[in-house]
Amino acid sequence: MAPRAVLLVLAAGCAVLGAAEFSPSLDSDFTFTLPAGRRECFYQPMRKEASLELEYQVLDGAGLDVDFHLLSPKGETLVFDERKSDGVHTVETEDGDYMFCFDNTFSTISEKVIFFELILDNMGEEGQDQEDWKKYVTGTDLLDMKLEDILESINSVKARLSKSVQIQTLLRAFEARDRNIQESNFDRVNFWSMVNLGVMVVVSAVQVYMLKNLFEDKRKSRT
């Protein structure tokens, strides 16, 4: 089996299945292009009694839709979205690798630009850091503020900053999708405007020709 840091290639019927894995960070986001007729999958290792929150959006592509699958380490389907443009899903996890896939096999022409974000909670690392901090709490009774209070304040600020970063990332994704829609509408309006202009020019030329024929003297002069 290939290392987790590299891209895995799996067979899924006639579709080509790509697979990649993220390091167990608390917050990860990724934007990629999914070609027509392809299915792309990613793996995320999780711990028991942790929480996995996944949000995705289709930023560009005809229809702005994609099929989404989320599978447990046992291969059970936890979430299935069919032809959706966005979605938010949260699951309580167990030990193992969770697989989530984006499927564009129903499209034969249009590729899709997809953004997704992973938010991992209760992964155990932060709890271990808190236990390390508690080792130094002994003997701080004379301080106006104990180290536990400082740690609680730091964790509160950290949580709010993480939430702010998440919201800003989502807003950027919404902005990118809206911009793509506006550019598509702009190109469509320009195309049909040129078509209408061409029709008007042709109709005007035909009308001028017909009027000119009506006023021509078709009588032949006798010699």
How confident is the model at residue 182, as a pLDDT?
A: 83
In the block, tokens 């080509």 appear at 16
Question: Which residues of the chain are under the pLDDT cut of 70?
Answer: 1-25, 124-146, 217-223
End-to-end Cα spacing for the chain = 102
**CA distance readout (Å), 193 to 62, 111, 198:** 21, 27, 9
Q: Give the whole-angstrom CA distance, residue 95 versus residue 223.
A: 109
**CA distance readout (Å), 3 to 7, 10, 143:** 8, 14, 49
pLDDT digits (tens, 9 = 90+) for 5-54: 333 333 333 333 344 444 444 778 888 999 999 999 999 999 988 889 99
How confident is the model at residue 11, as a pLDDT?
A: 33
Q: Give the whole-angstrom CA distance, residue 110 versus residue 34.
A: 9
Sequence-distant (≥ 6) Cβ neighbours of residue 121 within 8 angstroms: 26, 50, 51, 53
The one-letter code for the residue type at 38 is R
Structure tokens at 39: 């299915």
Give the max Cα distance, the chain.
132
How confident is the model at residue 217, as a pLDDT?
A: 62
Q: Give the whole-angstrom CA distance, residue 27 versus residue 157.
A: 16
How confident is the model at residue 66, as a pLDDT?
A: 94
Percent of the chain with pLDDT over 70: 75
Is residue 176 within 8 Å of 168, Cβ to Cβ?
no
